[in-house]
């Protein structure tokens, strides 16, 4: 278990672990109002494709109970809610109140009301009983979690036997040439976009740094296996800029 005196990274900074949650919260409170616009701009719209591929790999069935963890503005939940029928349920959970409110407003405006529940929750302490969900998805959220191992253990706890976990996250590029271009874009262009669109360059500098500090494909696979997941696999998208990891609880 983590202690009050351990340290973790916040981007390239080393900070006490008990400060990270609030530091990350401050980032997302700052950018929530323009979060979706920035996603389109900084990924050239590719995040929509990545999320559609992730939804397809979740293999959602009617009547499924789905946890969209760190679900933010509800991109995945919107798709899930259309797949589960009248007897299923989607729980959109996010630790950040500003992002959660943005997602709630967005989905309610789409007419998605009966099949969805919104809850503010920390991935390290998921407020549900053991074996509650058929599917868990976390998209672009795991890298912001302070104690990733603990969060993965929590996901395994609340997933039903036979259930599937999907993690969509930025990862490690497999091309040195592309990596050099990507680094230039990440550290030169992204902060300027953040300043222009959100009046906040620092939050998008943190985004670029947090991607580099996140475990790469093989490391995350090993972490999932250590948390008890089986048949763990990953698929690189766009040369590894993003990867989809999946695993099952048996």
Q: Is the pLDDT of residue 75 over 80?
A: yes
Q: Is 201 within the bounds of a domain?
A: no
pLDDT category of residue 198 using cuts at 50, 70 and 90: confident
Q: Is 195 within the bounds of a domain?
A: no
Q: Is the pLDDT of residue 152 over 90?
A: yes
DSSP-H helix ranges across the chain: 17-31, 35-43, 46-58, 75-81, 97-109, 148-158, 176-184, 190-198, 201-213, 217-226
Would you give the DSSP letter of residue 95? S
Q: Is the pLDDT of residue 3 over 70?
A: no
User: Looking at residue 38, what is its pLDDT?
Assistant: 73
Q: Is 182 within the bounds of a domain?
A: no
Which of 77-81, 110-114, 224-228 has the weakest average pLDDT?
110-114
CATH number of the domain at 224, please: 3.40.50.150
Q: Is 44 within the bounds of a domain?
A: yes
Q: Is 46 within the bounds of a domain?
A: yes
Total domains present in the chain:
1
Which of 14-23, 32-41, 80-89 has the weakest average pLDDT?
32-41
Which of 12-26, 66-80, 89-103, 181-195 has the weakest average pLDDT?
12-26
Numbers of helices and strands, H then E, in the chain: 10, 9
Q: Is 185 within the bounds of a domain?
A: no
Among positive and negative, which fits the CA dihedral 92, 96, 97, 102? negative
Which of 156-165, 194-203, 212-221, 233-242 has the weakest average pLDDT?
194-203
pLDDT category of residue 4 using cuts at 50, 70 and 90: very low
User: Looking at residue 2, what is its pLDDT?
Assistant: 43
Which of 15-19, 162-166, 233-237 has the weakest average pLDDT?
15-19
Q: Is 243 within the bounds of a domain?
A: yes
Q: Is 198 within the bounds of a domain?
A: no
Q: Residue 167: which of 244, 76, 73, 81 has the closest Cα?
A: 244
pLDDT category of residue 5 using cuts at 50, 70 and 90: low
pLDDT category of residue 175 using cuts at 50, 70 and 90: confident
If DSSP codes are grouped into helix, strand and coil, which group holds residue 221? helix
Count CB atoms within 10 A of the CB of residue 172. Answer: 19
**Which residues constitute the domain of residue 65?**
7-174+206-248
Q: Compute CA 244 distance to the chain's CA centroid, rounded to the nearest angstrom.
A: 11
- Contacts of residue 224, defined as CB under 8 A and 6 or more positions apart, other chains included, come to 152, 165, 167, 232, 245, 247
């Amino acid at each position: 278990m983590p202690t009050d005196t351990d340290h973790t990274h916040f981007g390239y900074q080393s900070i006490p672990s008990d400060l990270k949650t609030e530091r990350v919260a401050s980032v997302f409170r700052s950018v929530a109002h323009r979060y979706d616009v920035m996603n389109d701009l900084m990924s050239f719209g590719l995040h929509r494709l990545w999320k559609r591929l992730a939804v397809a790999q979740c293999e959602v069935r009617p009547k499924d109970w789905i946890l969209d963890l760190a679900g933010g503005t509800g991109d995945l939940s919107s798709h899930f809610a259309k797949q589960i029928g009248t007897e299923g349920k989607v729980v959109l959970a996010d630790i950040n109140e500003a992002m959660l409110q943005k997602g709630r407003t967005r989905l309610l405006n789409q007419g998605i009301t009966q099949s969805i529940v919104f809850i503010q929750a920390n991935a390290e302490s998921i407020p549900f009983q053991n074996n509650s969900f058929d599917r868990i998805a976390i998209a672009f959220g795991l890298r912001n979690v302070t104690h990733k191992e603990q969060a993965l253990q929590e996901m395994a706890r609340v997933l039903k036997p036979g259930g599937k976990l999907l993690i969509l996250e930025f990862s490690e590029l497999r091309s040195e040439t592309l990596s050099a271009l990507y680094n230039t874009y990440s550290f030169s262009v992204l902060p300027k976009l953040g300043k222009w669109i959100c009046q906040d360059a620092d939050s998008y500098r943190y985004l670029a740094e947090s991607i580099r500090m996140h475990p790469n494909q093989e490391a995350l696979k090993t972490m999932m296996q250590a948390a008890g997941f089986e048949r763990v696999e990953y698929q690189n998208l766009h040369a590894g800029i993003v990867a989809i990891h999946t695993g099952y609880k048996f």
